[in-house]
Structures are given as structure tokens and as C-alpha cells.
Amino acid sequence: MRTRVAIIGAGPAGLLLAHLLDAAGIDSVLIERQNAEHVAARIRAGILEAGSVDLLRRAGLGERLAREGMEHRGIHLQWPNERHHLDFVDLIGRSVWVYGQTEVTKDLLAARERAGQAAFYAASEVTAHEIDGERPYVAFVDAAGRPRRVDAEIVVGCDGYHGPSKQAIPDALRHTWERNYPFAWLGVLADVEPSTDELIYAWHPDGFALHSMRSRTVSRFYLQVTPDENIGDWSDDRIWDNLATRFALDGWTLKTGAITEKSVLPMRSFVTTPLRHGRLFLAGDAGHIVPPTGAKGLNLAIADVALLSRALIAWLRDGDTAPAATYSDTALERVWRCTHFSWWMTTMLHRHGDDFDARLQLSQLRRVVGSRSAATELAENYAGLPMPGLD
């Protein structure tokens, strides 16, 4: 089988890239390890930057988002006995949107189906070949167990942190940076109306807690736990007790409901460079992972794809390879900014170290809510730097 762009991985990065290429008349084939139902059901990120929302709208994917998404002016920052609202709209004129990654993925899967372009789900043994030459290809075994090969002009690895694409870049050329944090998140989805208008990021002596949401009837919570936490030790009652303690504030009560999902998420920072070698490009989690405290992972994947789609369209439609030549360096500038911001939010809000660290964290939190310039710095990063491709 021949196509112009072979895309490994049908997460948000791969699906969005396929959609943007299709809109420019460039065909692609998606090769995904999981089946489509699994891809659509994964519960992950929940916050879209204003720039991500604009990009999805311009790509014709904004209809359900406008109807079901919830626009937030900012976030609440909390520590014992104090809760402060940071109003991004007031500070920098930009908002963020609550619209789950699950919903973005469903919209993209539906668009892919409408476009009628090829996709192989439940593929195994997926490998990229000949990326140094003119005729790269992807080999894999399809859902029926048949060996297959997709020949392409370009191969894009959108296969997440565990995917094989980055290994196709020679070891001698690759640099990676990784930090594993000494804590994890217990993520909880519950059928209960959110107890807050906008997200609450809470510092607490027992550990960080985050109150997020998915809709007017579904809340999303996270609790800081240890990386080797046994989920079986967290009964629903224990979860609600911990949430109530960490979010406690006079005159405020936490509404409780049926917990429908719980899981433990590791926290890590990871960057691999370069994001391009020959005819192979990396986008999204395949190239970088951030801890979720800054709500950046999905937005960064969207930003990579915005930039990469432009570069590939310039190359494949107009014969201009200049944007592809600068893709890695340009994308990495944003990646490192988001890596720093996510590390900073994580370090400021999670309990680690000793009482000295706690005093520094509380001082930093007071500074953020007490100084317009400190608050603006957080707002600019959280609501997102300008998105490439939207000028």
C-alpha cells in the first residue's frame, strides 16, 4: 500500500495530523496498536488552551466543543484556610476550556471516518524503515495477523511515550532528558456535579489535590499519592475523606457521588531530541512527556501538530522543505517552555522534601496570588503561548 504520509499512532496527535493533512488534500494512513474503541475510551487530559480551541475550530472540529465545552476564566489556587481565584481573562485576555481528551478524540475519529481515509487499528510489530532514504515505509502485522507494509514519502511517529518510532533515530544522534518525580496521582472520575465553578489546585500538608470536571454532572479529581500506591488500598470512602480534607474551606462543602473510575498515574518529565531525522518526524508524547500539573500534555501535542502539518503541507504540496528543516528546533522551544512550566507547577504544589520546602512553596503560592506580575506569568503559561499556524 502507498500513501504520502504514514502516521504511527492514532492518539490526538496522529488523528489531528491526519485531519489537517486531509484538509490540504494530502492522503495519509494511520497505524494504531489499539482498537478504535480503546482509543476513544481513554480518560486523560481535560483542559484546552485558547489556542488549541481556536485551532480545532478552524479545522472544523469546534461544533460539539462550542456546545458541550465549558469556558473557564481562570483557576483557583488553594492552601490551608485560603482559596484565591486567578482570573486569566482579566490578567491576559485569554481563557481556557474544559473539554475532555476523550471528546476531542471522538470528534477526530468521526472526522477521520467521514474523510474515508485508511486506518489500521489493532496493529502489532509496528516498525519504521529506511527513514534516511527517499522511500521510507512502515511494516506491521494487521488485526487479522497478516504482515503489511505502507510505503510513504514521510513517516510521523505519534505513538506516545511507549511507542517505537523514536528508536528509529540512531542512538548516536539522540539526546534524552528524563525526570521521574517521587509521587504519583490517583485519578478519580465521579458522577457528581462539580463543587466548584473552576478548577481548584490545592497544596496541603497531606499532599496535592486537584478538583477538575468533565461536564455539569461529572467531576474529575486527583490526589497526590506515592508512585507504588496500591489502588486496592483506596476505597471510595477513603478517597472522599482525603478530598474533603485537602479541599477543606470554611463555608464550602464537597459534593460526593458514585466513583466510576480510578487509576494511578506516574509523573515524569521526558524530552527526546531531535524531533526529526531524515523522513521521520516525532510529534506529541512520542517526543516529550510533562507531568500533568500544568495541563500541558495534550496542548503541546496539538501545538506540535499545528507546526508539523504546515511543514509537511509546504513540503508535499509546494516542494518547500524549509519549514520541515526547522520543525524540530521550533517545536522544542515550546516543549522546553512547557517542560519548565509543568515542572514548576508540580514542584510548587506537591508535598516533597521537608518543612523548609513547604515554607518555600507557601511563600511562592502567596507571591503568585499577591503579585499581578507573578500571576500574569502563571496565566500566560497556563492559558498558552500563541499557537503556531494561527497567524
Active site residues: 72, 201, 292, 296, 382
Q: Which among 156-164, 271-279, 316-324, 343-351 is the span making contact with ligand RFL, rule CB under 6 A?
A: 156-164
Number of CB atoms found within 10 A of residue 374's CB: 16
11 binds ligand RFL, rule: CB under 6 A? yes
Strand order in the sheet with 96-98: 47-49, 96-98, 70-72
For residue 207, the partner it binds in ligand RFL, ligand PHB, none, with Cβ less than 5 to 8 A by kind, is none
Which of 14, 46, 207, 274 binds ligand PHB (CB under 6 A)? It is 46
- All three cell numbers of 151, joined, read 510505503
CB of 272 vs ligand PHB, minimal distance in Å: 23
CB of 367 vs ligand PHB, minimal distance in Å: 20
Any idea what DSSP says for residue 167? G
CB of 189 vs ligand PHB, minimal distance in Å: 9
Candidates 94, 77, 53; CA nearest to 370 is: 77
Q: Where are the beta strands (DSSP E) in the chain?
A: 5-8, 28-31, 47-49, 70-72, 74-79, 82-87, 96-98, 119-120, 124-129, 137-141, 147-151, 154-157, 175-191, 200-202, 209-213, 219-225, 258-273, 276-277, 280-282, 288-289
Candidates 25, 17, 39; CA nearest to 106 is: 39
Which of 6, 26, 39, 45 binds ligand PHB (CB under 6 A)? It is 45
H/E run at residue 113:
helix 101-115
Which of 292, 323, 384, 388 binds ligand RFL (CB under 6 A)? It is 292
**Interactions with ligand RFL, residue window 23-52 (CB under 6 A):** 31-34, 39, 44-46
Taking residues 112 to 151 in sequence order and writing x for each that binds ligand RFL by CB under 6 A, - otherwise, the string is -----------x--x-------------------------
CB of 188 vs ligand PHB, minimal distance in Å: 10
Q: What angle do CA 178, 180, 182 make, to 5 degrees?
A: 160
- Grid cell 484546552 is found at 48
Q: Interface residues with ligand PHB (CB under 6 A)?
A: 45-47, 199, 212, 220, 292-293, 295
Q: Interface residues with ligand RFL (CB under 6 A)?
A: 8-14, 31-34, 39, 44-46, 101, 123, 126, 158-160, 162-164, 265, 284-285, 292, 295-298, 301
